[in-house]
């Protein structure tokens, strides 16, 4: 809910969803005729091991090349009916694999054997593409050893209650996941971050140290949490250089569920937020088309309406109802064309609203001038790009409707890409 004084002298105030009330169980979405999965690797047909017509089982690893670590996990039993390149955000080249599903599931047994001995290698090979998409590779970096794992239990954006539902209904799986993480990493310091009003609901039920945070947005953003825990923010090397690793509650539950059952989870919980702001929870297989979820709840998408993966502050717009939900899709938000705030190329008027609202005190009005011009490194050096916690408040208050948040995300991505290329050239 937004609060602002009549004279505009106070900052807008938003609050996360809290686990103090009853959250309805998700509606089960039937297995669709086809599921589409993304392998986060470029398709190179000359060396591809994927072939149209190949039968696949539920829970089977799908890779572009034999021996690859990067994979997708088949969420249904069926036959591969299409393989195509997919252009993801920021021009990243992925591989899209579409499976024509059968009426029943035949489970793949490869993980069942590997699950007998939990290790980081096993987690990285099988769980990195499961619901919640746990990042395992930073835990394997001996050059930047991790000493604290942070599980964030709230949702980083507004209107979403997916993680809180999982905490309420999946405490056993989360505890099992925490135990697996301790065995695989040897890390004892595991922290669960959750809005302070919800702490009493979980205290004593979860096997980790509880860290309450304010329910006011954006205090549950990972970078805000990191600052609260350490008093610092990461540089361009990321969180791993500080010895802290973040993982989503859904990912921990998926790890626990996988090792307890011997099979990889292929369904995920998604919040569907309609044009009136009403929230619905759905349970669907990874790869299910967005349209299947919207149709279930009677959400009509008209010309010029906007579909967003994520929440209203930090979500990313998608262009088709045929696109699939991914392992990290927490929410699908639909906005009516009449209420969509349009971005523009109108110049900054130096009102200072973005500076006043920034929780990290970044001089946003100066930083964005460099980012608009593509001078990413200069902006990072002069105006503290990496202090930005990516909350989107600057874009929300911008009078000129400059897409500041998108410029910042792009700048961080481009600097990371350039740095990686330079490191490869030096080797």
Measured distance CA(255)–CA(266) in Å, rounded = 12
Q: Does position 127 have pLDDT exceeding 70, yes or no?
A: yes
pLDDT at 20: 57
Long-range CB contacts (within 8 A, 24+) of 111-117: 111/59, 111/258, 111/262, 111/263, 111/264, 112/262, 112/263, 115/258, 115/259, 115/262
All structural domains of the chain? 1-30+145-340 (3.10.20.90), 32-102 (2.40.50), 353-426 (no CATH)
Average pLDDT over residues 395-403: 92
Q: Does position 204 have pLDDT exceeding 90, yes or no?
A: no
Q: How confident is the model at residue 27 (pLDDT cuts 50, 70, 90)?
A: very high
pLDDT at 30: 96
How does 100-129 read in b/e, with b if 16+ C-beta sit within 10 Å? Answer: ebeeebebbeebeebbeebeeebbbbbbbb
Q: What is the mean pLDDT of the chain?
A: 89
pLDDT tens by residue, 404-425: 999 999 999 999 888 877 777 7
pLDDT at 103: 84
Average pLDDT over residues 161-175: 87
pLDDT tens by residue, 325-340: 999 999 999 999 998 8
pLDDT tens by residue, 352-364: 999 999 998 899 9
Q: How confident is the model at residue 48 (pLDDT cuts 50, 70, 90)?
A: low
pLDDT at 186: 94
Contact 299, 132 (CB under 8 A): no
Residues of the chain with pLDDT > 90: what percent? 65
Average pLDDT over residues 135-148: 91
Least confident of 230-239, 363-372, 399-408: 230-239
pLDDT at 4: 36
Tell me the whole-structure pTM to 2 decimals: 0.91
Least confident of 55-69, 231-245, 323-337, 394-408: 231-245
pLDDT tens by residue, 211-220: 888 888 998 8
pLDDT at 9: 40
């Amino acid at each position: 809910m937004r609060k602002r004084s009549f004279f505009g002298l106070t900052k807008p105030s938003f609050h996360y969803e809290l686990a103090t009330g009853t959250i309805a169980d998700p509606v089960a979405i039937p297995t669709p005729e086809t599921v589409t999965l993304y392998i986060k690797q470029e398709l190179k047909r000359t060396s591809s091991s994927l072939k149209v017509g190949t039968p696949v089982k539920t829970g089977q690893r799908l890779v572009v090349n034999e021996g690859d670590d990067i994979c997708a996990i088949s969420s249904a039993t069926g036959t591969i009916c299409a393989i195509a390149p997919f252009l993801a955000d920021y021009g990243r080249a992925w591989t899209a694999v579409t499976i024509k599903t059968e009426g029943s599931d035949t489970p793949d047994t490869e993980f069942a054997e590997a699950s007998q001995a939990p290790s980081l290698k096993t987690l990285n090979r099988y769980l990195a593409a499961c619901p919640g998409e746990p990042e395992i590779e930073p835990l394997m970096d001996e050059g930047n050893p991790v000493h604290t794992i942070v599980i964030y239990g709230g949702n980083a954006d507004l209107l979403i209650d997916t993680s809180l539902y999982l905490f309420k209904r999946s405490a056993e799986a989360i505890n099992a996941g925490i135990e697996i993480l301790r065995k695989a990493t040897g890390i004892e310091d595991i922290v669960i971050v959750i809005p302070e009003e919800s702490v009493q609901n979980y205290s004593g039920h979860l096997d980790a140290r509880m860290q309450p945070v304010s329910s006011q947005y954006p205090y549950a953003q990972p970078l805000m949490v990191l600052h609260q825990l350490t008093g610092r923010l990461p540089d361009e090397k990321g969180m791993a250089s500080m010895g802290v690793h973040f993982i989503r509650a859904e990912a921990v539950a998926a790890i626990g569920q996988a090792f307890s059952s011997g099979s990889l989870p292929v369904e995920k919980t998604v919040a569907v937020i309609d044009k009136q702001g009403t929230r619905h929870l759905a349970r669907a297989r990874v790869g299910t088309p967005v349209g299947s979820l919207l149709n279930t709840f009677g959400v009509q998408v008209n010309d010029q309406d906007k579909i967003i993966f994520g929440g209203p502050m930090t979500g990313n717009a998608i262009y088709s109802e045929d696109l699939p939900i991914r392992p990290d899709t927490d929410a699908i938000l639909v906005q009516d064309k009449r209420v969509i705030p349009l971005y523009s190329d109108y110049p900054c008027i130096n009102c200072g609203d973005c500076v006043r609202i920034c929780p990290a005190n970044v001089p946003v009005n100066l930083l964005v001038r460099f980012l608009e011009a593509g001078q990413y490194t200069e902006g990072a050096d002069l105006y503290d790009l990496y202090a930005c916690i990516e909350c989107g408040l600057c874009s929300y208050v911008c009078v000129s409707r400059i897409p500041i948040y998108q410029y910042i995300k792009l700048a961080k991505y481009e600097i990371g890409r350039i740095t990686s290329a330079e490191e490869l050239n030096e080797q």
